[in-house]
Structure formats: C-alpha cells, structure tokens
Structure 1
Amino acid sequence: MTPLGHRRLILTRHAKSAWDDPALEDHDRPLNDRGRRSARELGDWMASRGYEPEEVLCSSSRRTQETWEKVAGAPLEVRPILRIEPGLYQASPEKMLQVLRTATQPTVMILGHNPGIAEFAAQLCARPPLDPDFRRYPTCATLVVDFQVDDWKDVRPGEGSVMDFVRLDGRD
C-alpha cells in the first residue's frame, strides 16, 4: 500500500521473446526459455522488495501477457487488477502516459515495448539511474519510480523519484 499523496509505477519491458517462427506476426511472438526464466526471477525480485502492483496495465501482445503470467507466479501478496491495453502495443511515451493517467490504484505496473518504454522511463525520472543500460532498456528491465501526487492524472515527466532499476534478461 502506498500512502496518500504517493503513487508508485513499476515499468517493465517484456522478457526475451522467441524468434524461431519467422511467419509469426510480431504481436503473437511468445517468450523464449530465457525470457520465461527472467520473468519468474522478476516476480521473485519484486516480491522480495515489496514491489507489489495493485493494478497491471499490460500491452495486448503475447510476450507482454506471458511476462505478466510468469511475474504473477511469484509469491506476491496482492492479486492486482489486470487490464489488457491494446494501446500499449508499440506505444509512444505520450501514449504510455495517457494510459497511465487512467490508472485507478496507487501502485501500478505497466508492461510494454521498446523503443517507447525506454523513452518513457527516461522522461519520467528527475534523475535517471546510473546503470549504463538504462537508456537502452533491455528485455525484462524494470524501473520502480515514485511520484508525490494524489492521482495518476497529475503525473508529469521529470518528476519521478527512482527507487530501483533492475535488468534480468542479459544484454539484449
């Protein structure tokens, strides 16, 4: 639970997807084995730090939904509201902010895609993490950022305080 006047965003790029079927549409690509392992590790990492979303805004792509399924398999205490948001598929930072502003719970997780998610993460932070891969936002990268606002509608770029940043999926 986050206190009044405080909102927390957990911003996650989907885990590593499979490329073994060239005929498959991008939207329909599943996770590969490494991606499934990384997403499970992300769920464990989140639970160990108390980063528990009350609402999940997930792109409609197969790989983002599978990432959430693996994260949700961790021992999280909260079972969040899950909203599949087609507008998050390949979304621009502006679209991601628009979707975030519709959130109803104090702690929200967004699962999305590059390049939009990397740009969105960079825009949100007052001071970005020092991690050299932050601006690249590799697969399964996750930023935890807090805002001192009462409502998601009041979130503005450049006002987020970075609480944590993790990369679990290697260098791609």
Structure 2
Amino acid sequence: MKKLTLLRHAKSSWDDPVARDFDRPLNDKGKRAAAIMGKFIKRNDLAFDQVLASPAVRVIETLENVEPVSGLSFEPQWDRKIYLASSVTLMDVLRGANADADHVLMVGHNPGLEDLIFDLVPDDGSSEARDAVEVKYPTAALAELSLDIDSWSDIKDSCATLNRFTRPRDLDPELGPDYA
C-alpha cells in the first residue's frame, strides 16, 4: 500500500507582467491559501517520504509558503515533466518515485492533477471526495489517496481510493471564490 498526496499550486497572479506562464508568481490570496494548507498538513500529521514538484515559480512559491507552517522540511525533486503534464505523464513520473517512499507528495498543475485522480480512482458513485473533484480542483487544494500497490512502478488506472479532498475554502471561507 502506497500513499499519494496531490497539491495543486496556490493561486497565481495574472496581473504580474511575466514573459512566460512558467514564471507567474503567487498572488496574496495564493500565499494565504498555501499557508492555510501548510497548517492543515501539520494539524493532520501528514509526512512525506518524497516530494515531486514542478519547477514553475508558482509551485516553488506554494511550497515556500506551505513549508514553514507545516513543521516539515521539504527537499523537492524538481521535475520539469510535471509542469502542465497530462495524467499519463504524471503516472510515468510516479513510476520513477523512490522505491522506499511510502508516501509521496506531488505538487503541480491542473488539469493534470485532476485527471490523475479520475484515472486512479474508479467512479463507482460512492466517493463524495471524488464528486467534489469533478466539480472543481481549485488552487491549493489537497487530495489524499491510498494506492493498492506495493511498488510505484505498479501504478495504474483504478488502483486508488480518494481518502480526503481539502480545499482552502474548507478551512477558511474567505479563501473561497466569493471573496476577492
């Protein structure tokens, strides 16, 4: 049994005039949301054996805002393949995770993370968490999965259960879409 936690980067700034999407930084709301998720990680005693992350600026800044309040020290493995990756590519990255890692945190982007959940978790109509992901996988949301595999190389469609899906607005309503 392996555990996978997926964290979508926090809200980035579209007002910042950067030349490339890759270089977009977080906005203030995104920084607050990332810190709230870091507190959630600490409160729930989540710990990760390996962190796989996109090297996009908004992912780096998300981790910089999660780390100090989570009580954890991240040493991410930056992987350009995660940047705007498809579910298929994300599964390939996970197949290369450290063999001795029981719990992996992957930090990246949509729609890839959302599609990865849809591929890994069967749609049997019994998961409220999966239904919530179908509505929207917002920025800084955290999905926790259990995978019925012994080795990361065995990851495949329909091998997981979505245990919990937590959005920043679930922890602080002011981080929801109705607030600026």
Task: Return the TM-score normalized by structure 1.
Answer: 0.88
Give RMSD over aligned pairs. 1.9
- Inter-partner Cα distance in structure 2 for 1:39 and 1:24: 24
Q: Do 1:15 and 1:39's aligned partners in 2 also have CA atoms closer than 8 Å?
A: yes
Deviation of 1:133 (Å): 4.0
Deviation of 1:152 (Å): 0.7
Q: Do 2:40 and 2:70's aligned partners in 1 also have CA atoms closer than 8 Å?
A: no
Which amino acid is 2:164 matched to?
D
- Which residue is equivalent to 1:138? 138
- Inter-partner Cα distance in structure 1 for 2:14 and 2:43: 31
Task: Summarize the Cα distance change of 1:86–1:70 in structure 2 as closer, same or farther, 3 Å threshold.
Answer: same
Deviation of 1:21 (Å): 2.3
Deviations 1:23-44 (A, max 9, x none): 4310000000110111011111
The structure with the greater share of residues assigned to helix is: 2
Q: Do 2:86 and 2:112's aligned partners in 1 also have CA atoms closer than 8 Å?
A: yes
Q: Do 2:54 and 2:78's aligned partners in 1 also have CA atoms closer than 8 Å?
A: yes
- Which residue is equivalent to 1:98? 92
Which amino acid is 1:101 matched to?
R
- Inter-partner Cα distance in structure 1 for 2:46 and 2:70: 11
Q: Do 1:129 and 1:165's aligned partners in 2 also have CA atoms closer than 8 Å?
A: no
Task: Return the TM-score normalized by structure 2.
Answer: 0.84
How many aligned positions are there?
Answer: 166
- Inter-partner Cα distance in structure 2 for 1:162 and 1:21: 35
Deviation of 1:19 (Å): 1.0
Q: Is 1:68 the equivalent of 2:63?
A: yes
Q: Do 1:54 and 1:79's aligned partners in 2 also have CA atoms closer than 8 Å?
A: no
Query: Percent identity at matched positions?
Result: 33
Q: Do 1:54 and 1:81's aligned partners in 2 also have CA atoms closer than 8 Å?
A: no
Higher mean C-alpha deviation, range 145-154 or range 19-28: 19-28
- Which residue is equivalent to 2:120? 124
Deviation of 1:65 (Å): 1.0
Higher mean C-alpha deviation, range 128-137 or range 83-92: 128-137
Deviation of 1:85 (Å): 0.5
Higher mean C-alpha deviation, range 14-23 or range 126-135: 126-135
Question: Secondary structure of the residue that 2:12 maps to in structure 1?
Answer: coil
Q: Is 1:53 the equivalent of 2:48?
A: yes
Deviation of 1:101 (Å): 1.0
Deviation of 1:102 (Å): 0.9
Unpaired runs of 5+ residues, structure 1, are 1-5
Q: Is 1:163 the equivalent of 2:163?
A: yes
Task: Summarize the Cα distance change of 1:21–1:55 in structure 2 as closer, same or farther, 3 Å threshold.
Answer: same
Deviations 1:129-165 (A, max 9, x none): 4255412211111100011322111122212112211
- Inter-partner Cα distance in structure 2 for 1:53 and 1:170: 27
- Which residue is equivalent to 1:3? none
Question: Secondary structure of the residue that 1:143 maps to in structure 2?
Answer: strand
